[in-house]
Amino acid sequence: MTQNKLNRKAFTLIELLVVIGVVAMLLSVTLPALARVRRQAESVCCQSNLRQIILAAFIYCENHDGFFPIAYYTQQTDQGDIQYNWDFTVCFVGPEPSIESGILWQGEPMDKIQQCPSFQGDSNTPYDPYTGYNYNTSYIGHGQWENIAQPARRDQLRQPARVAVFGDGQNISGANKFMRAPLRTEGDLSFNDRWAGTQGFRHNRRTNIAFGDGSTRSQSVVYTLVEPARHQQTLDAYNQQNPHSPVGFLSPDNTAYKVP
């Protein structure tokens, strides 16, 4: 009798294989769903970061006669150069470079906000501890070496809800911090590397954007038309090899970037 009870409690090989099959099937269904949830959570976190970044830009405007922060400039001193960027300032005075929060933050330590949770690579700019976002340099931030150096004023944004100010910066070789419009502008007329200022569509093939009215939205449509035209082939080839995380522009022309 005891032996019969033990036999009834034990799994047969067939039953064990059935259980293993059911568990494997459940995992095959559950794990992709969990991965999608994780990616969605990262996208929500990313948009939260962008809201804080655009809010910081508005505060900067209030403190600087309505002007947005300049995207970049370099100050030369007898001891070394200081590179001021909108996100980070790198000081080359001393034996080792020192890094501080950039122009946008007005001395406040807000570094971690500048890391997109879905971007795992390195910045194309040396020494930046966090990366993943870029700033509209063609029309808003401008910079020291642009055709127009002075940044735009907030009241110049006639349709702020349509003007991209910050977003998921990414090109074919990593993150970028300077967002570029695809076609030549008065501000960067002599600049030929616009293809390096693209957006990363890394949130389930969507890219997040902070607009001039303070809103954040995502976009799925990728545009690769760019001047000079030869760079479009480079972008298209990259996107064919990376269909789940392409790079590109926000509009087929400069509409998504233009201030007036």
Residues 6+ apart with CB under 8 A from 183: 194, 226, 227, 253, 254
209 bridge partner residues: 167, 217
Q: What is the pLDDT averaged over residues 112-119?
A: 93
C-alpha–C-alpha distance, residues 191 and 180, integer Å: 10
pLDDT of residue 133: 97
Summarize pLDDT for 123-132 with one digit per residue, the tens. Answer: 878 889 999 9
Dist CA 146 CA 144 (whole Å): 6
What is the pTM (predicted TM-score) of this model? 0.86
Q: In this predicted structure, what is the pLDDT of residue 110?
A: 74
Looking at residue 198, its pLDDT comes to: 98
- Domain spans of the chain, in order of start: 37-64+113-248
The beta-strand segments (E) located in the chain are 72-76, 81-85, 88-91, 98-101, 133-136, 164-168, 178-179, 199-200, 207-211, 216-219, 247-248
pLDDT of residue 95: 85
Residue corresponding to tokens 């349709």:
159
Nearest CA to 216 among 156, 260, 167, 253? Answer: 167
Q: Are the beta carbons of 82 and 75 closer than 8 angstroms?
A: yes
pLDDT band at residue 18 under the 50/70/90 scheme = low
Longest dimension (CA), the chain: 96
End-to-end CA distance of the chain: 90
pLDDT digits (tens, 9 = 90+) for 128-167: 999 999 999 999 999 999 999 999 999 999 999 999 999 9
Task: Provide CB contacts within 8 A for 104, sequence distance 6+.
Answer: 53, 56, 57, 60, 69, 86, 87
Label residue 51 by pLDDT band (50, 70, 90): very high
Mean pLDDT value of segment 174-184: 95
168: pLDDT strictly greater than 70: yes
Average pLDDT score over residue span 211-218: 98
Contact 138, 182 (CB under 8 A): no
CB 72 within 8 A of CB 85: yes
pLDDT attached to residue 61: 98
40-54, 56-70, 77-91, 113-127: range with highest mean pLDDT = 56-70
| Count of positions (residues) in the chain | 260
**Scanning the structure block, which residue is given the tokens 């020192």?**
98
Mean pLDDT of the chain: 89
pLDDT at 34 > cutoff 70: no
pLDDT of amino acid 13: 67
